[in-house]
Amino acid sequence: MSLQVAKLYKDALKYLNSFVNYEYYTNYFYDPNHFDLDRVKLLLHYLDNPHLKMGKIIHVAGTKGKGSVCAMLSSILNEAGFKTGLYTSPHFYSLRERIKVNNEMISQKKLIELVNEIKPAVEKVKAVLTFFEILTALAFLYFSRKETDFSILEVGLGGRLDATNVITPLVCIITPIDLDHTQLLGNSLTKITYEKAGIIKERSIVITSIQKDEVMSVIEKVCHINKTKLLKISELTRWEKLKSTPYGQLFFLKSIYDSYKELYLPLIGRHQITNAIIAVIASELLNKQGWKIKKKSVKEGLKKVYWPGRIEVIKNNPLIVLDGAHNSASAKVLKNTIEEYLNYENLILIFNCCKDKDIDSIARELFPLARQIILTKTKFIRSAEPEEIAKMMKEFRQRIIIQKNLSKAIKHGVRISHNEDLICITGSLYIVGEARKTLKSHKMANISDLILKERAQRNEEKKEGVCV
């Protein structure tokens, strides 16, 4: 990459980041008077409506698993030979991770080109646009230029007023809905579901995961109003987990369309099997509609899916797991998966989450599992102060220590661990992303060397009578 491209790319990012990014804020009003779709529609109009030229669209909303479903379905469609756009958020390292075609990130040169193209259109929109609105339009422009067969769009927040919700989808997918972003979407499952079900369009097809009764009731009502066909995986499928390791699992699946004796998924947890089933049903539905997607493509697509940071085991001896659990529902899923899928002696929990989350509920799912709880802070602006978390969770004070930054927290976790232990780094996707950078910067990709070094140091300190 030339220095000129690097500078232009930096300038493009600076331009995008000059717009308000609500991922960084906790206190703002999420209402139709401020968050409507008119601004995005106008911006897209000035760009010659790229959202009408990017193939068939699959729109995915929900509280848990929507990114995983998007990644799985994208992998299946790629394997079937279709040019597939994928728009997700947030990212770990690079903004480019959010915009992919056939699992290839948008190039720096192309992002620079599209930012320059989008600037005049942004100037024409008199209302103040947001970072996510502009990035969404940019993704749509990219997919239209690449002439994608399918575009898979993950909702950013909610659904009804999300910037992605200007499209007409072929299929809407709703993953499990639970309490999250309550200060924005509402403090009840009914209110939150109405926001997320806002992606349902007239006479489209909706595939929904297993839902709580009050959630399903709202989805059914919205589908009825919109004359939309509703497919519930709970009624369409039968499945069974066959075998698992810390790195993946085999499961059997029978649907109303087909059956699979063995499907391999390189992600663990029963929730990921449920996510995979949604992707399979969507693939089978598309196949019935004339898009040729063979069973082999389904099997190979799931086998090759890559979606890091979701109960991801990155090392053995000790096991080191990264997970982006950021609400009580996902924390419970993490807890259940650890207990069912992973064998370990003691759990060392390295934890931080965003300060606007229900910290108490998340912590109460995970803290009881841990022998040692290391509270830390990430560089993300919404990161909670570890001292505040410790005050909330006083009953665990004997197990809690505080490390001011994630690098020190990881080093301490490694130092006190043994081969049979589990180190789990969790609380948000932001701590997962930073943990990856930290591990890399400390050459911890080959973490066994650091473990041996730290343990040798510990043994020496013990010999000298130093308290560790």
Q: How far is CA 118 from the centre of its chain?
A: 27
Task: Tell me the C-alpha distance between 117 and 128, whole Å.
Answer: 18
> Is 204 a residue whose pLDDT tops 80?
yes
* Residues belonging to the chain: 468
pLDDT band at 468 (very low <50, low <70, confident <90, very high): very low
Task: Tell me the C-alpha distance between 417 and 35, whole Å.
Answer: 48
The two tokens of residue 454 are: 């730290």
The two tokens of residue 317 are: 């001896």
The answer to whether the CB of 203 falls within 8 A of the CB of 228 is yes
**CATH architecture observed for domain 312-460:** Alpha-Beta Complex (3.90)
The pLDDT of residue 457 is: 63
DSSP letters, 421-441, are: -EEEEESSHHHHHHHHHHHHH
pLDDT band at 3 (very low <50, low <70, confident <90, very high): confident
The pLDDT of residue 465 is: 44
The pLDDT of residue 32 is: 52
The secondary structure element, H or E, covering residue 87 is: strand 84-87
The pLDDT of residue 242 is: 97
Bridging pattern class, strands 422-426 and 347-351: parallel
- Tokens 């992002």 locate to 111
The two tokens of residue 184 are: 């924005």
The answer to whether the CB of 252 falls within 8 A of the CB of 292 is no
Task: Tell me the C-alpha distance between 170 and 359, whole Å.
Answer: 37
Overall average pLDDT of the 114-130 stretch: 94
Distances (CA, A) of 35 to 18, 32, 309, 428: 19, 5, 30, 25
**CATH superfamily of this structure's domain 7-304:** Mur-like, catalytic domain (3.40.1190.10)
CA angle 120, 122, 124 (to 5 degrees): 75
The fraction of the chain above a pLDDT of 70, given in percent, is 90
The pLDDT of residue 466 is: 40
Q: For 90-100, what is each residue's pLDDT tens digit?
A: 998 899 999 99
Q: For 26-82, what is each residue's pLDDT tens digit?
A: 555 555 556 689 999 999 999 999 999 999 999 999 999 999 999 999 999 999 999
CB atoms < 10 A from the CB of 116, how many? Answer: 13
pLDDT band at 107 (very low <50, low <70, confident <90, very high): very high
- CB proximity list for 318: less than 8 A, separation 6 or greater: 344, 348, 417, 418, 419, 420, 421, 422, 423, 451
Task: Tell me the C-alpha distance between 47 and 316, whole Å.
Answer: 50
Task: Tell me the C-alpha distance between 444 and 438, whole Å.
Answer: 8
What amino acid occupies position 373?
I
What amino acid occupies position 357?
K
> Is 254 a residue whose pLDDT tops 50?
yes
The pLDDT of residue 411 is: 93
Overall average pLDDT of the 154-181 stretch: 92
The pLDDT of residue 461 is: 53
CATH topology identical between 7-304 and 312-460: no
The answer to whether the CB of 67 falls within 8 A of the CB of 198 is no
What amino acid occupies position 142?
Y
Overall average pLDDT of the 380-398 stretch: 94
> Is 456 a residue whose pLDDT tops 70?
no
CA angle 198, 199, 203 (to 5 degrees): 105
pLDDT band at 187 (very low <50, low <70, confident <90, very high): confident
Bridging pattern class, strands 259-265 and 248-255: antiparallel
Radius of gyration of the chain (CA): 23
- Tokens 């040798």 locate to 456
pLDDT band at 401 (very low <50, low <70, confident <90, very high): very high
Instruction: Parse the chain into domains and list their residue ranges.
Output: 7-304, 312-460
The answer to whether the CB of 322 falls within 8 A of the CB of 343 is no
The model's pTM is 0.91
pLDDT band at 442 (very low <50, low <70, confident <90, very high): low
Task: Tell me the C-alpha distance between 204 and 206, whole Å.
Answer: 7
What amino acid occupies position 50?
P
